[in-house]
Amino acid sequence: MDSKTNDFEFKICLLGDSGVGKSSIVQRFVHNTFTSCNENTIGASFVTKTLFIQNEKYKLNIWDTAGQERYKALTPMYYRGANICIIVYDVTLRKSFESVKTWIQELKNYLFEKCLICVVGNKLDLVDRRAISLNEAKECADSVDAYFMETSAKDSHNINELFLNSKKIFKVSSDDVQH
């Protein structure tokens, strides 16, 4: 039996309006911590996480972009070349959900490479204040051929699954992953 490790490298970019929890998702996934009072990201932040799963090495280069309007012109340079773009909205804020299609259109305007798009409703721990139904969110994602999931960075619900499922889906759907 061959014990050789297959290496895969992914560029993952998180997009979405300010305050939806992009940085909290990254912090929870990479460091398994949560801070409820995050400062706004300026431009973008970058972290790397390496995982070993069934004789395969996954290096995840994760870009957490700023959601404020004043940084919008910079965003394309961060997601150019991304394998996976995760568009995050806050399940309690309709405005952030309404921006999802704008983010998707921006991706279509600037991305020429094959890129998996994931639509993620965050802050599921506040489900009692939900402003977007699960069906509405699923329909939105389906309408643009995007993967869909809901998460809570606060209680860690679906955070690991988001990144692990993204890798599996992308690996199955593309031969363009860097080896």
Give pLDDT tens digits along the chain (179 positions): 455 667 888 889 899 998 999 999 999 999 999 987 666 555 567 889 998 877 888 899 998 876 544 445 555 666 788 889 999 999 999 999 999 999 998 888 877 667 889 999 999 999 999 999 999 999 999 999 999 999 999 999 999 999 887 555 555 444 444 44
16: left (phi over 0), alpha (psi -120 to 50) or beta: left
pLDDT at residue 152, rounded to an integer: 98
pLDDT at residue 148, rounded to an integer: 96
Q: Which amino acid is at 109?
A: N
- Secondary structure tally for the chain: helices H, strands E: 6, 6
pLDDT at residue 114, rounded to an integer: 79
Domain boundaries along the sequence of the chain: 7-171
Q: Which amino acid is at 123?
A: K
* Residue 64 to residue 27: CA distance in whole angstroms: 10
* Residue 117 to residue 119: CA distance in whole angstroms: 7
pLDDT at residue 18, rounded to an integer: 87
pLDDT at residue 71, rounded to an integer: 40
Q: Give how far Cα 97 sits from Cα of 29, 121, 157, 158, Å.
A: 22, 8, 19, 19
Task: Among 3.40.50.300, 3.40.50.920, 3.40.605.10, 3.30.470.20, name the CATH number for the domain at 7-171.
Answer: 3.40.50.300
* Residue 131 to residue 39: CA distance in whole angstroms: 24
pLDDT at residue 115, rounded to an integer: 85
pLDDT at residue 77, rounded to an integer: 64
Judging by beta carbons within 10 Å of its beta carbon (0-12, 13-18, 19+), is residue 50 exposed, middle or buried? Answer: exposed
This prediction has a pTM of 0.84
